[in-house]
Every structure is written in C-alpha cells, then in structure tokens.
Amino acid sequence: MFELESVIRKNIMALLPYSSARDEFSGQAELFLDANESPFGSLNRYPDPYQCELKNKLATQRNLDEKMIFVGNGSDEVIDLLYRIFCEPKRDKALTFTPTYGMYDVSAGINDVELLKVPLTDDFDIDIETTKALLGAEQIKLTFICSPNNPTGNVFCQQKIETILQTSTGIVVIDEAYIDFSSTKSLVGLIDRYPNLVVLQTMSKARGLAAARVGFAFAARPIIELLNKVKPPYNVSLLNQQAALDALNNETDYCRNLQEILAEKETLYNFLEGLSSVQEVFPSAANFLLVRFNDADLIYQRLIKRKIIVRNRNTLIRNCIRITVGSSTENQLLMNELKQLENEKSIVY
C-alpha cells in the first residue's frame, strides 16, 4: 500500500521552502523593486520560478492539469531532486534495471543511496518475479524504469510496469526521454490511477533542445508540490523557458524532423544488418540503434580515427555500440566509413 507521507524524508517534510520575491508577489505591477535585480539590460529580471506560460502550453497540448507538471533544468535535475525528497542517505534504497541510463546510479551515489540493480533478461526484458521479490523484501523508495530504455532501445510492456506500480510502496519513475520516437503511447495517462507514479520527459531529444536543458516531470499534485518545495528558486532560465515554448509552438518542424529521424533509423538499420562485421542490430523504439559487432572496441577505435564518435557500450553489453541516428548527411558519412572499414581485411570475419 502506497502512502506518500511515509516515503518522504522527514527533513523535507519539515522544510520551510525558500520564498522568492515572486512567491510573495506574483501579479502585475508598475515597479518591481523587490528582488535586488539591476534596472538595466534585457535579461535583468529573474525568470518566472514556476514557468507558468510553458506549463500552460504543455497542459493545453497534452490535455493535462498544469498542477501535474514540474519543469526541471533537464530531466537530470528531476532525477536528483527525487532522490533528495524520498531517499534518506545511507539508509533508503532505490532500484533499477540494468543496463540503463547512467544518471540513476550517479545521482544515487551523490545522494549516498544504494541503488539495487536487477539485470535485464537476455532479450532486455524486466525479470518481474525477481523484481516483485525485491520490492517485497526491501524498503525501496524509488524505482527507475527507462522506457524506451537507454541503451537497449526497447519499450517495457505496460502490464509489467503496472505490476511494479501496484507492488511498490515507494515512488516509481518511468523515464520517457525517448517516447516521441516510439509507437507505444506515453504512460502519463496512468497518473490518475497511481499516486506513486512519476513520468519524466525531456525537450532534449525529439524536440531538439539538448543545449537548453528543459525536462518535465508529470505526477499527481502532491508529488509536484514536493518538487517545487526543494528545487532552486529559478531553476529554468528565461532563455530556456522561451526556447522550450517556441519549440512547443512549432509542431511543423517537430513532426518533420521526427519523421526524418525515423526514416533515417530504418535506412541505418538495414545498412548495418548487411555488414559482415555486425552480429545483430537490436530493434529500437528510440533515436539510436544498439549494434552488436564482432569486435566493438576495434570498430570504435577505427571510427574515432576517422573522427566519428559513437558510444562504445562494450563494458555494459558485450561487443555493443550505441549509434545515435543523425541527419541523412551525417548517417551517410558514418555508413561510408563503416563500408570502408568492412573492406579492410582485419575487420571482416
């Protein structure tokens, strides 16, 4: 049984949050002399601490309540805030399914929280029996499920995710950074049914704003209120809020770019499947492909020599490299190089 009060750290529950000038007065006025800003310049005023315009746009687009949205300085900020709100350092535990996105582990380390790792099965699926047993035996405050998963590219089935949501007495975070590229729909719609669900999304991938650092958490209102309580007062800059708003207003570019990336992914997939240096290209619901080569380290080094950088995941998944789908020109460059390498005797098996 999930009870929010019992999973919040006591000090966070008791915390008196910082009250910014904009918390004390948030209406329109003739003259603002309450935040020690400079009267000069165009970026001289603090940004809206609650990003109301951005949330309003997103809420309208997604048919959501604005109070169910938190905006972070990238979703990485939200991951860290969740540890800080829910996990008592040195005592509480978190859980994830490996291999997966590295920041769940790094943020756990920073917050001095033990992260339990359930290995994915050989076909990159969640071992639900092991997971249920762990959730029953351990005090797990946070569970991270990355779907589509980075770096394996697959989506986990909703039924398994719901079993975890039902079994866990803690918060379950579904990281949907790559959901736009997937034909599976977001689980944001489950928030009304699960008070322990947090869904993460980001402007960094399909929306093309990795440099701007804007990520979202969607959850029931009490969880959003906690995130607002602990966040730095002005965590998303005015420039970044504006960039995110502009991107959300530009559905045409978003749809066109998304279609192009999906088409390019297919081209790259078919090309890679035909290489004799490749053992397997894993199906991907994201904007990257996980590829098992005969010798990943060798391919990785050869590509570096040609100034093409991919992500060598050999230490996580044997002989695997993660390749981001680029533009048509970028992918062509990569394919040309791989074709050339293929002709070099040492790489053909």
State the residues that interact with ligand PMP by CB under 6 A.
74-76, 101, 146, 150, 175, 177, 202, 204, 210, 215
Q: How far is the CB of 156 from ligand PMP (least distance, A)?
A: 13
Q: Give CA–CA dist 223/65, Å, rounded.
A: 14
Q: How far is the CB of 178 from ligand PMP (least distance, A)?
A: 7
Q: How far is the CB of 205 from ligand PMP (least distance, A)?
A: 7
CB nearer ligand PMP, residue 275 or residue 325: 325
The residue number with the shortest CB distance to ligand PMP is 74
Its sign, for the CA torsion 104, 108, 113, 117, is positive
CB nearer ligand PMP, residue 115 or residue 338: 115
CB nearer ligand PMP, residue 50 or residue 216: 216
CB nearer ligand PMP, residue 178 or residue 275: 178
CB nearer ligand PMP, residue 37 or residue 125: 125
Residue 294 vs residues 258, 269, 272, 279, 319: alpha-carbon distances, Å: 31, 17, 12, 6, 7
Q: Give CA–CA dist 133/152, Å, rounded.
A: 24
Q: How far is the CB of 310 from ligand PMP (least distance, A)?
A: 14
CA dihedral 257, 199, 73, 33 (to 10 degrees): 120
Q: How far is the CB of 105 from ligand PMP (least distance, A)?
A: 12
What's the start-to-end Cα distance of the chain, in Å?
55
| 236: CB partners within 8 A, 6+ apart | 47, 51, 54, 71, 72, 73, 213, 214, 244
Q: Give CA–CA dist 220/176, Å, rounded.
A: 17
